Every structure is written in structure tokens, then in C-alpha cells.
Structure 1
Amino acid sequence: MSDAANEDVKFSLKVMVNKDKTKVLFAEADPHFVDILLSFLTLPLGRIIEFFDNHYKGEETPSIGSLTNFSRSLDNLADAHFVTEDAQQALLYVNSSFEDAYKCLKLDISNSQSAKYFCCFLTSHGSIPCVSIYYDNLTCKVCGNTMRKEAAERPSIAASSDGVFVKSKASFTISGDLQIFPNEIGLLSFITLLGITDAHEAQEIQVSFGFNEIMDLLKASLTSPTPLSDLILRKKTKSSTAAISMHEIVNEINPRCRNLSLKLMIRKSTGELLYAQAQEDFVEFLSGLLTIPLGGLEHLQAGKSCFKAINNLYRSTAELDDKYFKTSETKKRLMNPHLPHGCISPNQILPLTEECLPAEYIDDLSLFSSVAFPEGQGRYLERPTTYLVSDNLTVTPYFTASALCRMNKEKIPISDVEEMQLQIGLKEALSILKASLTSTTTALSDALLNAYPSHKRQKK
């Protein structure tokens, strides 16, 4: 959908607020609006960072913890650090496995791109042509030709008039904290669920939502537990960080998982993390965090992420009966959105999953090499390279002289510095994921040092 078409789309919501107009009790929404809310669960974290950078300017640009710092530092790395320019762009503009669905939304905030597959003009195996496993041009290993012929498009989902995620005839009510309820549950059950005790306290208002309001709602969903109230009533609610214990996080093993080595430089006198010295494999692991959709984040953290409103959206989606969705498979995809095929690095520790290719596209994947990833699937960075990773996840090339000058500038004597060598496995990876979303300045310290009593940071 073009920007001009997006600007013309408006949703009219009937909203019930309390008489003092301090709280949104609920809003009635059509399935098109609910589709857009559910699309939030499909958006990769890196894609949201790009949305915010493009839509908001200056001091109003929201950040997603330290991941925003990390994404911007990748943008500042020289092209020579990436295996190809396309590999760098794949991290700066993160694809989703729902690109085709975005185009069918009544209002598309995603700046969606069609998923494309390419095949070779000359080579085929039986009745099945060589088809790429990436969203870029490939080189066929059989004949060496670049696979520039676009393969047959995958079947598109139903048009927007039929709904995208939920059925077009369904109707819903949304609470101020983004819980979704089907209207058929009835008035008494609904007001009991929301804790409304006095019908006289409700007052109806009409609210119009367009592109800017949807963007503001996405922003508020990540910064406030009551985004509809904040947006409609122009309130500012300070978000609190959710406490997540490790046993609440999904316990899955990544079959590709291997521990990564990380060297921490710590100031002895204060326990302060000065920086981490990392190889490209750790930076590629961090890069993988940008590809995780909000629904995938909720799956990894058992519906208890730091984004309370998204938790509500996720849990209410899980509780909605399958009959309200286009298909039961639609609901499953929303509850654990897969990543686009071919983007997961072998250095990714977290148990992330990729979408499957259509059956006709999986003849012999070993025959293909990617132009974007000549070193293999999801390998973004040239190797071997050493990086300096700051506590706020800013990444820069590592140079010994620069590290020494940094300590001299901060007047830190070498005698007050010690090294800690850590192995980063699943437990540490989950801690880094959580801290990258909740801290803008001390993500590595929060994730790694707090687990070591002898290296507690001095409180400021």
C-alpha cells in the first residue's frame, strides 16, 4: 500500500471512558483494526527500530533498550566489515515472514516488501527448477549463472476485505491495556473481566485512528501498560520493567547452539564493566536479536516480556478461540512467528525457527549459494574480526591502541583492570535478550555481571 493510500485510511472507534476521562474502559473495533493490532506480534525488533527512526525525529524518537544503540552502530560500521552490502542491508531493514500479509492489511505501517524467489534460466532438476532460499539473487552451483529469473509467486493470502488474521465477520472489544475479547462473551461477563462495577461511570466518545495514531499506538504499546488510555486521553504513564525469572522463560534447546566466548574488561575497584572484547560470532548473535518478532519474543519469555501491553495482546490472542482466526495455522504463526528462511546465523544461540519453503521449492538446497551470504546462511560479518562492545551494546572495531587511549582518558590505571573470560550459552543469551530490551546503558552488566557476586557494579 502506498504512503498516500495509507494517509487516506481512517478507523472510527467507539470508545468508552470513565466520567473523569482518566481511563479508557474499552473500545469496540472491527476485524480490520484487530488485524493491525495482531500484526504488531509479527514485527521484528529491528524493523520496529527502523520504523521509529523514520517516523519520529529528534528527541521524540523512542528506543528499544540497548538494541537501538546496537542497530545504529551497525549502520555506522564500514561496509568492509560485512560480507556483502546486501548482508548489511538485511540487518538494517529486517525482513518478516509476514510480508505478503502486511500488504493485505487495510492500513500497512510496515513499508512491506514482497517476498521474492529466484531461479536459474538454464538449470532445473526434474520438474523442479533451482529456486533460491533467500530473498535476493543467488548463484547456481550447477551452471554458475546468476539466478535472476523470478520464480512463480507463492499463493497470496486472501484480500484485505476478507480479513488477514481474523475472520471478517467477527467483532471485538479491546481494553485500555490491549486485551482482545470477542463480543459474543456478553456484557456481564465482559464488565466482570474488566472490573467495571458501575455502568453509570462509562461515557462514550468517538475516536479516529489513522497512520500516525497507529504508529503512536505501537510506540505506546512498548512504553506503557495502558497504551489506549495514554494515546486517546493524552496521558503519560511511566512503564515499569517486568521481573522475569529464568524458570518462566521457555526451555528449548537450539540444535545448532554452541557456546560463544566473550572477554570482559572490568574495573577492579568498582566492578564496573569497561567493555567487552568479542569476535564476529558474538556480534552475529546480537544481530539475530534484531530479527526476533514481538510474538517470538513473547514465546521465548513465556508471555512475560518487559512490554506489559504486548504481554496482554499475546495472552489474549492465545485465549481467543480458533474459530475467530482465518485458520488455526494463523493463530499458531502469531503465537510463535517464524523468521524468514535463510536469515538465522549458525552463531544464534536462542531457539529461533525459520519459515518453511513451499514443497515445490525444496528440491536440493545444497545446490545454492547466496550472493548476500557467500559465507553461508546468516553469516553477515567478515571474519576473523575483533569488536569492542560497549555496555550499551554499541559495537565498534577493536584496536588495542584505542582501548588503551580510552582507559587513559577516563584515568583508569592498568593495575585497576582485570579480564573475565565468559562462555555465552542459552542462559546467558536469554539474559542478554532481556537486558537489551530493559536497559539503554548497562545491558551487558545487567545480563552478565549480576550473576557474579564478586563483580557487582558500584551504584551511582
Structure 2
Amino acid sequence: MYGGHHTPGDHKVISLKLLVDKARDRVIFAESDCEFVDTLLSFLTLPIGSAVRLLGPDSTSIGSLTAMYKSVASLEPRSLRTDYCQEMLLNPRNATEIQCSKLKINVYPLEPVNLYSCDRHWCIDSGRRFSTVKGRPCRCKHPMSDRVYVDQAEKGAKDDCEGGGVFVKDGAFRFMITDDLQVMAGSAAACLSLFRKIGLDDGNEVEERTLEFGEQEVLCLLKFALLSKSPLTEAIRYIQCSSKKESTKFQPKRTPQLDKSARTANTDNMNLKLFVSKSKKCVLFAEAGADVVDFLFSILTYPLGSIIKLLGKNSGFGCMDNLYKSVEHLGTGGYLKSEERMKMLVCPKLAPFHSVDNQLLQIEESCLSAVVMDPKSPTGEVDAGKGYMKRPGTFMILNDLSVAPFSPVTSVALLYQMNIPVDDVVERVVAIGPDEALNLLNASLISKTVLSDVFNQREPYPEYFSRALGHQYGLVNQKQDSSLSQVFPSPPFLSLLHDPSSPEFLSLTCRSMSGGDDTPADRKVISLKLLVDKSRNRVIFAESDHDFVDTLLSFLTLPIGSVVRLLGPDSTAIGSLTTMYNSVASLESRHLRTDSCKDMLLNPRNATETQCSELKINVEPLEPVKLYQCNNGCCMRWFSTIKDRPCRCKNPTFFRVRVGQAEKGAKDDCEGGGVFVNDGAFRFMITDDLQVMAGSTAACLLLFQKLGIDDGNEVEERTLEFGEQEVLCLLKFALLSKSPLTEAILYIQCSSEKEIIKFQPKRTPQPDKNAGDANTNNMTLKLFASKSKEKVLYAEAGVDVVDFLFSILTYPLGSIIKLLGKNSGFGCMDNLYKTVEDLGTGGYLKSEERRKMLLCPKLAPFHSVGNQLLQIEEASYPLYVYDHRRNLWVAAESEENRHSAVVMDPKSPTGEVDAGKGYIKGPGTFMILNDLSVAPLSPVTSVALLNQMNVPINDVVERVVTIGPNEALNLLNASLISKTVLSDVFNQREPYPECEFGIQHCTTDSKPLVKQQCWIRVTMLVCTNYQLLRFIYNWIKPELE
């Protein structure tokens, strides 16, 4: 490093002349030209995140910035708005990178910004936009990969200064740089003044040296400029002047009045929830939303010069404050190239698109002249200022600014690890405004206990519990609960936890949720973290990300017929639905309008199948709907979802028509990950009874108190993987059990049988009833009942009643729960439904449209019937348009005038289009048993049935009942929980009359038709022998003819 060192030809160096105090072994000052001073002043333009990266392990001495930087590096992409956000924080760009590229030694060289555009004519004609990221989606969803070259002459025109030098002038003068980085124009007066200042009066103690500075030496100088009060000496001689960085005590600051006024007009305060130890008077950790984390992470993009300015030139950054003040002095002396270059050093801007939406500390952002899309935006937005983190999100922030997505299990374990008693913990919500933001910035540079330093400067903590940790949990008396060290001493519970003071603690615990690596490549699994009560052998709660919650919520979109099919033999416990499903399977095709009707009932489609296809685990994967046409040119408008079904012209529809892929992608109403819930930086808690909530320390502790858990030896943490079979098992127990997680995961039978729920008649809600009366007609049902047994034996019904009953199989679970007022008797499915309402108000669902898909799921297209007594809306296919070449695509607003396609109802045998017709061919009469077994009416079978039930003729009565919206709702309700549906629904009325019909009615009426009808009816009731029945038929046959 000293004189005589040979410099390779490709190694750029700058020569320095030094004056060294030999006695103290200290540099007095260095003398250089503009090249070294330019490099030195460029430190002020560096983003602090870049300084952390450049210094590597040495950056740990810079407050808590290294811990925060590592948190960004450990963050999973799903917590960020785009994949590029992490790169922008770890390698923030420099707003003065064009100027710095001219430095002889540039410690932070960057590749020039390249621009890319979409090559589609529509995007070019409507106003061309550009992206700095190759391959990112355009507004039209097409990748932007077309490189755009900027004219070199225009690039050169950006330079506002002629001549040599970058920040200082390249004149006939030399600069002096003192050991503490004060830069001044060289002069004899300044030299003598410096000698007097340091008490140097003997020339023999002074030695002149010449050395060459390369890139590694400049990096070394940057490190000591941030950490030391004598950076030249330490960088040049490698002498450690002190055993550790000088400790700077945090002092609260206030934002300058002018800046504060400008800020409050455009920014909002943010909230931070602190969990504090009263005895230790320190913040343990905090829970924060994405806005707070955006602000903290954005500190990494702040240029050093702007930080020093915000902190009033008292940043605690070694000698960087002196360097900043030198710029001001050099500017007044006329040594800087221009006023514009001076502003680049004393007020450096953020690089383009590096600001966040709630910029509490106002640092101006540089901008690009062209219309360039924000790389942080997943939707191709142009407006800069949006944050890096995906919203909504909840994060845990430790005292040293380590940040990770919030985990309820980790938060509880952290309290235990710190040996903090429950009665010593209080919760406090604080507001972060400009002053608090400035103090957080200041503390992050000099302290390892940032949260405590900033927020412990206020009033003492109250002695009583806060609402969240006191009254909300019932811990109003300190004697009621012991310390957390007694609650959670279980070694298995803490097996994956490490020192919470280390930056890797949170990232390690989050990575442990991802499960093992021994999963087969073709098996999709979701990792769950469980807390189990070992003494009761019950799951306390499960912790998961959006993948599992999406799968869980998708249960609400499943048609109940699909549930019966998926559960197989286990579905027999679901009321009378299995017998009705088996009746459909046994029905001959001649009783159905088309061959497709049976498949539509046995395998009903899901109106949200497009969205559910994006689930990580989809228990009901369906083939996409295919469209077919016949070869008749006159029928180009008509399409069928069933191959080879007759068209309107009687020709088979065999020609496959494909829908344009680009337009299919445009259907998605939500960007980003997740299907029903947002793919944000937060974790969900799922209780044993399927209540889903956003994870929080408060919710976790409340659950422990509710369950009466006070012994940590009873609690165990487990991690497991959920595959398709496990999800199906959970679906079964979600419908049948009050503790589905325990039964599905621990394989423990919590009860010997499904809880018996007594049928209670219901009434349709008034709005639905009115809607039903306007569009539907009541139906009649003929009941045959036993007076003594007070139960319905069977019923005779027309096709309208059977259509209604069979259509129940197509009802989505969510719509059934809604119709039944969230009291369906479906195990814990009602809790899951209520969860959607709560998650929607909390902003955790993707959109209002996705929320409606869960709370009011629609019937699949063409799955409704003609007399839809229970009003469930039917989905429809998108509006398709076609051309004469048989091309088909989804219509856009600009294409409404094009030829619209028509999809035929698969239930129609004649190619009708109107949906809503039924499944059963009419006219027809069917027998319906008490358990909703349905079959075409057979006189022989009906007589044999009465004989099998040992019901005497004088005990049988006939009654005709009307089925309206209320009766339909009660039939639906009873079908889910009862095996005697007809009796439960229709025995709630007046007692049966003593005599409704008999032989005397037949003998007193002289009309032959009445005689025929009555004898046939009596025959059906009393005959148990087929030969006798044949004899009676032959006897009355003349009258029949």
C-alpha cells in the first residue's frame, strides 16, 4: 500500500501525499487532487443499504441496520409486492449513478438502467410505457422484453457541467483532508493552523509519505469513515485506535419545523403495537402492519447525505458529519462544480421509484423523463410511491429491528425465552409520526435497542394490565396467573428456537414452518405448525400461511353433491343426502331429459372452479369447460359444453373450439398470490373448531386463557404436512365434528358418533321469500302417513318436486349455510362461514368479489331448475364472441358489437338456450321415501313397502301438502341432519284426521271413474299378493276401457 508498490495495468489507483506524526503514528493530513476528493464526497450519495452490503461483516457496528438488512434478505417473496422489491432494498440504486460512473474509483458501480417495452401495437398506440425490468408483465399481461435503446447524445446531454472533475473542479489547486475527514483547499495558513491545533512544534516528528489508493483501500476508508473518529489513520495504517466503536447515546430529536409542515400535508401517522416489560423497562417486540415495515425498510434506500441532513449534521456516523460540512464550505469557496452538484451531495435524492406511499421523512425522489412503470407494482402502475410490502400484512419487529412475518407460536416462545412473566407484560399502541420516524432513523444508526430507546422516553408504564393482556384475557388479578416460564418450559416446544437477540432468530423460526425436504416431487403438500395440548390430546390451534386457509375456505364453494361423492362411505352420516345421491345414480336415463343430466347431478360443477384451480391443494379438480360446434355453417353461433350432443340442427357437436389464451388470463379480478385471502406477510391461526383469524399475540394468549392452559408441560409444538388425503379427511370432520383438527390430524375419535341435532322448522328470510314468490310457484306433494306412528311412510311427487330435491346436490355449502342462517348443523362449517365475514372486515380477503364467492357462492351455469324455490343465484358463462373462422374469445368492452356466441343448456334435448329447466323428463310420478330415496312410482313396490312396514290399512292416511319457500327450506335443513326428512318437515302440523278416505267413499259414489280410482287405491293399500292384484285389475278392466 505504500510507495514503490507496482500497480497492475487494469487496477485504477489515486496517488495521495501524506504528512504523518511519527511519534503518535497518526496521519496529520492527506494532500490530493480532485479525483480523491470526488471519491470521498461520493460517500454522501450512497444509500445506507449499499453501505451495509459493501462493508459486509463490518457493518454490524452500524446500529441495527445490519439486522434489518438481513431481515430483508431472509424475507420470502410472497411477503413482497413483486419479486423485484427485495432487490431494490438489498441493492438500492443511486440517484447520482450517472455522475458517479465518471469517478476514477467508484465503490458502487451499477449497470446502466435498461428500458423495455411491450411490442403489441395496442400498447404502442395507446401510449407507450417502459419497464426497467425485462420480462415483467405489461398492462395487457404480455411480457415487456423489447429492449429500447436511448440515444447516446441525449444521455450525454444530461451532464450539466463541462470539464474534468465530478463534484469538485479540476483546477490548479490541491486539497487537504484531515484525519477526521475535513476537506479544505490546500494553503500554508491552513497547514500551520492544523499543526498548532494538534500541538505539533517539532519538524523531526513529521514524515512525508506517498501511497496509492485503490478500490479496496477506498472501501476500507468508507468503513472507518462511518465508525471511527480518525478514519485516515485507521484505513491507511490499519491501526485500531480504539477497541470498539465509540458508543453514542441516543438522544430524541424533533423534525425541523419546515420539513414537518411539508410532511403532515401528505402523510398519515402509523400505529405500532408494543409488548413491553414493566420491570425491565424495555420493549420486548412489536407487531406492525406493512406501512411501518415499509418505512423501516425504506431507510436502507436513504442516501447518507440525506440522513445527515435530517439529523441536523449530528448522525453519529464517525466522521461523515465532517465530510458533509466540508461540502458546504467548499461550495461557498467556489470549489464545487455547480450548485446542482452541491445539492446532489447535501440533499441527495432517492433513486426513482424508491420512495414509499407514507414517506414520513421527506426525501425527494428522482424521476425518469419517460413513462416508466413502477417496478414495485404488480399491475403495471406508473405512479411511484407505493410500498414494497404486500398488504395486508402483520410483522414482528424485535428491539434490534429484526423483522419477520408475524408467527403466534414464535411470539409466545419469545416471551418464554426472555423469562418474562405474564403479569410483567403490557401492551401499548403508539403512533408514529414525523418525530417518531426521525427518532427511529437516528436510533437505527447507533443503537441495538431501537424500540426501547425511542418509545421508552415517555411516561412510565401503568401498574395495571393493559386491556389486551388484562381484562381481555381475564387476567385482572396477578395471582390468577404465574409467569410464562412456568407456562412454557417444555423442551420440545422450544426445540427450534435460538437466541432471540441474534438477527437470524426470526428468519430461522419462519423457515422451520416450511417442513422437511423428503416430500415426493409430485405430491403437493402444505406445512402446518401446531400447538397441541398433550394432557387432553387436543389441537389448540394450527398456524399456517394463505395456502392452507385458501384450501379451507374453498370448502364453502363445493357443491354438496361433490362432498357426498368425495367422502364416499363416510357421507352416510350427512343426513339423507347419500340416499338421494344413490337414487340419482340408480335412475335410468329414460327418466332424464338428457344423458348429461345425471352427470350434472352426480358431478356438479363448481361456479368458482377457475379460482379453485389455483389452489395449492384442490380437493375437487375439474377439467376445464370445453366448447364444441357442429359442422353446419348456419350454426356458427351455437356452442355446446358436451361433445357430440345434438345441435339445434340435429347434427352432432364434435368440432372442438378453443378460446384465446390471452383473453382467458384477463378474467382474473385479483393480482398477486392467494386465491381467496391475500398472500401477505402474515400468518393465520386456525382453532380446533375452524375459527380462522389473523395471527397475533393477543389472540394467542386469549385462546390459552379460554382453554384454561396454565402448565407449559402440557403444550407441545409439532410440524406436519397436509396433502390431498389429509385435506379430504379434514373436510369430512369439518362436516361431522366439533373438533375437526384434532380428529383429522391426531386421528382421535372425540365422540363415539356424530352429534344428534334435533330438527327445528325454519322460515326463509323475508327478502329471499319475496324474491321467490315473484319467480316461482308452489308445488304439491302427496303424503301417505301412519296415524299411529305419526310418521310419513312415503310420498308421491311430480317431476317438479324431484327436480327441486335433486337440485340440492348442486347447492354450494356456503349458500346452504347462508340460507339456514349460519345454523346448518354441519359440524364446524358454520364457524368457517363466519370466519369469512370477519376476515373480510379485516381486509385479509383478496377482494369484495372473492368474498361474495364464499358467502354467496353461485350455482354453476345451467344447474338451476325451473321452479327454484330457494333463491341461489346461477353463474353464467362469460360473453363469448366469434368470427367466421370459428375463432372464439371472451368479449372485451370494445368488442360488444361483434358476433356474440350462445352456449346451449346441456339439460335441453332440443338445443334450447334458456337455463333453468329441470333435470327430470316430464310428465312423471315418483315415489319418495322418508330418507329421500327417490324412484319412479311402482304400484307393486308401494304395496310391498306398506306390507314391509307392517302398517294396517286403517292406519294409513293420505294428505296433499303444498311446498313453498318455507317448506323447501325445511326440506333442505332436514336433508342435512335427518334420516326421516318427510316426517320431520310435515309432521309439525295439525294431527291427521280420523278418516280421509275409505271403501265407503267408493260405494256411495255412482260415477265409474271414482269407483275405478278408489278401488285402485284400496288395492294398493291392502294387496300383498301379485296374483290377487292381477285378479282385481282384470275385474275392473271393462270399466277402465
Scaled to the shorter chain, the TM-score interval is 0.7 to 0.9
Find the residue that maps to 2:861 and give its secondary structure: coil
Distance 1:356 1:5, change over 3 A: farther
User: Where does 1:206-285 land on structure 2 (aligned, <5 Å)?
Assistant: 206-236=719-749, 237=751, 238-241=754-757, 246=762, 251-252=767-768, 253-254=771-772, 255-285=774-804
User: Where does 1:28-427 land on structure 2 (aligned, <5 Å)?
Assistant: 28-53=543-568, 60=570, 62-118=572-628, 130=637, 132=639, 141=648, 146=653, 148-152=655-659, 154-155=664-665, 157=668, 162-169=673-680, 170-183=682-695, 186-192=696-702, 195-198=706-709, 200-201=711-712, 202-236=715-749, 237=751, 238-241=754-757, 246=762, 251-252=767-768, 253-254=771-772, 255-321=774-840, 323-360=843-880, 369-374=904-909, 377=915, 378-427=917-966
In the other structure, the counterpart of 2:210 is: none
Distance 1:5 1:343 in 2: 38
The alpha carbon displacement at 1:141 in A equals 4.6
Quick check: 1:6–1:211 contact (8 Å CA) kept in 2? no
The alignment status of 1:9 with 2:524, answered yes or no, reads yes
Write the letter of the residue equivalent to 1:437: L
Show CA shifts across 1:369-402 (max 9, x none): 5454227634211111111100000011112233
The alpha carbon displacement at 1:61 in A equals 5.5
Distance 1:72 1:437 in 2: 15
Q: Percent identity?
A: 29
Write the letter of the residue equivalent to 1:87: C
Cα RMSD, aligned residues only: 3.2
The alpha carbon displacement at 1:250 in A equals 7.0
- Extract unaligned runs of 5+ from structure 1: 456-460
Show CA shifts across 1:140-164 (max 9, x none): 6589774844252644649998222
Distance 1:64 1:5, change over 3 A: farther
Show CA shifts across 1:37-90 (max 9, x none): 01100100001111122xx5xxx5544210110110111111211122111111
Find the residue that maps to 1:216 and give its secondary structure: helix
Distance 1:267 1:245 in 2: 21
The alpha carbon displacement at 1:341 in A equals 1.5
Quick check: 1:140–1:147 contact (8 Å CA) kept in 2? no
Distance 1:118 1:256 in 2: 32
Distance 2:788 2:708 in 1: 57
- Of 433, 447, 450, the residue aligned with 2:985 is 447
Distance 1:301 1:10 in 2: 34
Quick check: 2:787–2:992 contact (8 Å CA) kept in 1? no
The alpha carbon displacement at 1:421 in A equals 0.3
Find the residue that maps to 1:331 and give its secondary structure: helix
Find the residue that maps to 2:583 and give its secondary structure: helix
Quick check: 1:15–1:24 contact (8 Å CA) kept in 2? yes
Quick check: 1:32–1:163 contact (8 Å CA) kept in 2? yes
Find the residue that maps to 1:270 and give its secondary structure: coil
Distance 1:225 1:160 in 2: 35
Find the residue that maps to 2:736 and give its secondary structure: coil
In the other structure, the counterpart of 1:22 is: 537
Distance 1:278 1:164 in 2: 42
Write the letter of the residue equivalent to 1:348: Q
Distance 1:30 1:109 in 2: 18
Find the residue that maps to 2:817 and give its secondary structure: helix
Find the residue that maps to 2:530 and give its secondary structure: strand
Distance 1:119 1:452, change over 3 A: farther
Distance 1:83 1:206 in 2: 51
Distance 1:148 1:348, change over 3 A: farther
Find the residue that maps to 2:624 and give its secondary structure: coil
Write the letter of the residue equivalent to 1:27: A
The alpha carbon displacement at 1:305 in A equals 0.9
Distance 1:449 1:386 in 2: 23
Quick check: 2:571–2:578 contact (8 Å CA) kept in 1? no
Distance 1:257 1:395, change over 3 A: same
**Number of equivalent positions:** 441
Find the residue that maps to 2:613 and give its secondary structure: helix
Quick check: 1:120–1:149 contact (8 Å CA) kept in 2? no
Write the letter of the residue equivalent to 2:820: Q
Find the residue that maps to 1:163 and give its secondary structure: coil
The alpha carbon displacement at 1:220 in A equals 0.2
In the other structure, the counterpart of 2:295 is: none
Distance 1:365 1:247, change over 3 A: farther
The alpha carbon displacement at 1:422 in A equals 0.6
Find the residue that maps to 1:96 and give its secondary structure: coil
Show CA shifts across 1:320-344 (max 9, x none): 1363222221011111101112110
Show CA shifts across 1:13-44 (max 9, x none): 11112241432111101111111101100100
**TM-score normalised according to structure 2 size:** 0.40
The alpha carbon displacement at 1:454 in A equals 4.1
**TM-score normalised according to structure 1 size:** 0.86
Find the residue that maps to 1:321 and give its secondary structure: helix
Distance 2:650 2:748 in 1: 62
Q: Which has the higher contact order (CA 8 A, sep 6+)?
A: 1
Find the residue that maps to 1:26 and give its secondary structure: strand
Distance 1:98 1:221 in 2: 20
Distance 1:5 1:105 in 2: 19
> Which of 238-247 and 261-270 deviates more?
238-247
- Of 964, 972, 977, the residue aligned with 1:438 is 977
Distance 1:115 1:277 in 2: 37
Distance 1:84 1:360, change over 3 A: closer
Distance 1:32 1:137, change over 3 A: farther
Distance 1:134 1:260 in 2: 31
Distance 2:947 2:831 in 1: 48
Distance 1:309 1:454, change over 3 A: same
The alpha carbon displacement at 1:205 in A equals 1.8
Distance 1:314 1:217 in 2: 16
Write the letter of the residue equivalent to 2:738: P
The alpha carbon displacement at 1:428 in A equals 0.3
Show CA shifts across 1:149-206 (max 9, x none): 42526446499982221122242111110011112xx212443267255464432122
Distance 1:17 1:308 in 2: 21
Distance 1:27 1:408, change over 3 A: closer
Distance 1:80 1:435 in 2: 29
In the other structure, the counterpart of 1:458 is: none
The alpha carbon displacement at 1:347 in A equals 2.5
